[in-house]
């Protein structure tokens, strides 16, 4: 077995109501002035103000930056950094989903390392630890609250940059499902399918390990057992808590085994059309696994079993086909759009989307290599 590494934040708090003690930890870490990085919706819902009041009661003052856009941009990071420096904050707290966490990571990293977030595209390009980041998660989920990844859209090139850097790992991650009760059904569906994609891609990845396998398969079975309920009954706290654990465990898997062509291709759709990450993953997932099926058949049969399929007596290829069918059924049951055309993707853009997908770091661990023509045909199959 080759040498492997396992990245995870040093402290991860989970469970209904854990936010209160998490805020206490901000004070006991010694921080006294926080920049809260969130987005306009979370801010308008009053969630950021509530967090500010909890922090104030614990002895920590704060200022809110509500400028993290979905698919956060270089401009968002620069604006947030300016506010952090003007307000002389000593820590960053992200409040929201992956967009808020990634924007906050970009702010915290450039606050200590200087330059532009563009300078850190690639693997471990930074020299110093970021300003301490506490990630309070409200979607389940991208797992950005616990990963060493930061995805920032370069609005000039219209591509999502992957900053893969241990220094963007949050100090503390917080998953309180009480903050997830208000997620609308489509957002619950999209983020849940993002988590499933993380687990499946990590499980078929060429960088999978026994640790990431255990996390991935457990995440798959929790998602199979709870996502439909979380979409249909948003106030079901048990289903929300289960999905929070599933998103986190899928994060443990891909934070260490990375991903595959689903993400490499989905990132292009996010960067080019500003489409929601989880929906892009959900539409592409069955098509990429169809492309991988011959090479990853036995792995996909394991995933089928974790999805609840009775695979006894099936060949590996039959198991892989059953896995792909079960993913399609789950997607349809929770209202995910069936094709990319419905999302506004244009055939004439596919060549540039495919060329950029082949440059995305996520593709490096896909179990099957692909040519430009292969990626183009997968995009067209998903139309
Ligand atoms: N860094 C990583 O490891 C990683 C992994 C996967 C995805 N991502 C990135 O994360 C981004 C997507 O994040 P996301 O899918 O969490 O969505 P998001 O953060 O973009 O949020 C989507 C919308 O949902 C709203 N929302 C969030 N929580 C809510 C709640 N509890 N109740 C009501 N509304 C709520 C937000 O205000 C926003 O309007 C993409 O940019 C993607 O590239 C990063
Ligand atoms: C190389 C891994 C990048 C992870 C991005 C998840 O959307
Ligand atoms: Fe992603
Ligand atoms: Zn993802």
Q: In this model, does residue 87 exceed pLDDT 90?
A: yes
Per-residue pLDDT of 243-268, as tens digits, reads 999 999 999 999 999 999 999 999 99
Which of 25, 35, 82, 83 has the alpha carbon at shortest distance from 58? 25
Residue 158, pLDDT score: 87
Please give the share of the chain, as a percent, with pLDDT higher than 90: 98
The atom number, within ligand 1, closest to the CA of 38 reads 37
Cβ count within 10 A of residue 116: 14
- ipTM of the complex as predicted: 0.98
What are 8-26's pLDDT values in tens digits?
999 999 999 999 999 999 9
**Pocket of ligand 2 from Cβ distances under 6 Å:** 149, 151, 162, 164, 258-259, 263, 361-362
Q: How far apart are CA 192 and CA 243, in angstroms?
A: 7
Query: pLDDT > 70: what percent of the chain?
Result: 100
Residue in 62, 136, 144 with CA at minimum distance from that of residue 106: 144
Ligand positioned closest to the Cα atom of 194: 4
Q: Which of 120, 263, 357 to mutate to test the pocket of ligand 2 (most atoms within 8 A of CB)?
A: 263
Cα(105) to centroid(ligand 3), Å: 15
pLDDT score for 159: 87
Rounded to the nearest 10 degrees, what angle do helices 237-257 and 210-232 cross at? 150
Which atom, in ligand 1's list, is nearest to the CA of 191?
A: 15
Flag whether pLDDT at 1 surpasses 80: no
Question: What average pLDDT does this structure show over 170-181?
Answer: 98
Angle between helical axes of 185-204 and 316-333 (0-180°, round to 10): 160
What is the enclosing helix (H) or strand (E) of 11?
strand 11-14
Q: Which atom of ligand 2 is nearest to the CA of 361?
A: 1
CA-to-CA distance for 142 and 193, rounded, in angstroms?
Answer: 9
Give 203-226 pLDDT, tens digit per residue. 999 999 999 999 999 999 999 999
Per residue in 90-134, pLDDT (tens digit) is 999 999 999 999 999 999 999 999 999 999 999 999 999 999 999
pLDDT averaged over the chain?
97
CA–CA separation, 268 and 356 (whole Å): 7
CA-based Rg of the chain, rounded to a whole angstrom?
20
Helix residue ranges, H only, 258-371: 261-273, 277-306, 316-333, 350-357
In the chain, what are the domains? 11-180 (3.40.50.1970), 185-382 (1.20.1090.10)
Res 2 pLDDT > 90: no
**What's the CA gap between 254 and 194, in Å, rounded?**
11
Give residue 197 CA to ligand 4 midpoint distance, Å. 7
Structure tokens at 272: 């080019």
List ligand 1's pocket residues with C-beta within 6 A. Answer: 39, 41-42, 70-71, 96-100, 102, 138-139, 142-144, 147, 149-151, 160, 179-180, 182-183, 187, 191, 194, 270, 277-278
Going from the Cα of 94 to the center of ligand 3, the distance in angstroms, rounded, reads 18
pTM over 0.90: yes
Integer angstrom CA distances of residue 114 from 6, 35, 140: 27, 17, 31
């Amino acid at each position: 077995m080759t040498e492997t590494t396992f990245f995870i934040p040093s402290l991860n708090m989970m469970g209904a109501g854990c936010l209160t003690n998490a805020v206490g930890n901000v004070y006991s870490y010694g921080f006294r002035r926080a920049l809260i990085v969130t987005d306009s919706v979370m801010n308008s819902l009053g969630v950021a103000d509530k967090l500010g009041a909890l922090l104030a009661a614990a002895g920590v003052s704060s200022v809110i930056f509500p400028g993290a856009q979905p698919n956060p941009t270089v401009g968002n990071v620069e604006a947030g950094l300016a506010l952090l420096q003007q307000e002389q904050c000593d820590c960053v707290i992200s409040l929201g989903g992956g967009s808020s966490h990634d924007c906050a990571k970009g702010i915290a990293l450039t606050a200590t390392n200087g330059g532009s977030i563009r300078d850190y595209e690639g693997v471990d390009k930074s020299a110093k630890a970021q300003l301490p980041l506490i990630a309070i998660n409200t979607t389940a989920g991208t797992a950005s609250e616990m990963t060493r990844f930061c995805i920032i859209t370069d609005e000039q090139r219209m591509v999502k940059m992957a900053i893969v850097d241990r220094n963007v790992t949050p100090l503390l991650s917080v998953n309180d499902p009480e903050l997830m009760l208000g997620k609308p059904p489509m957002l619950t569906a999209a983020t849940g399918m993002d988590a499933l994609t993380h687990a499946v891609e990590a499980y078929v990845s060429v960088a999978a390990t026994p640790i990431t396998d255990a996390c991935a398969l457990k995440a798959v079975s929790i998602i199979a057992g709870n996502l439909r309920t979380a979409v249909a009954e948003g106030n079901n706290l048990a289903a929300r808590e289960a999905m929070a654990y599933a998103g986190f465990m899928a994060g443990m898997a891909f934070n260490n085994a990375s991903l595959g062509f689903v993400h490499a291709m989905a990132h292009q759709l996010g960067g080019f059309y500003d489409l929601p990450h989880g929906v892009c993953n959900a539409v592409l997932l069955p098509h990429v696994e169809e492309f991988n099926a011959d090479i990853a058949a036995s792995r996909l049969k394991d995933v089928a079993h974790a999805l609840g399929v009775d695979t006894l007596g099936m060949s590996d290829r039959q198991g892989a086909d059953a896995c792909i069918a079960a993913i399609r059924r789950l997607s349809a049951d929770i209202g995910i759009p069936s094709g990319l055309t419905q999302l506004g993707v244009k055939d004439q853009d596919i060549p540039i989307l495919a060329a950029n997908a082949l440059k995305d770091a996520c593709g490096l661990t896909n179990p099957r290599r692909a040519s430009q023509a292969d990626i183009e045909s997968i995009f067209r199959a998903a139309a």
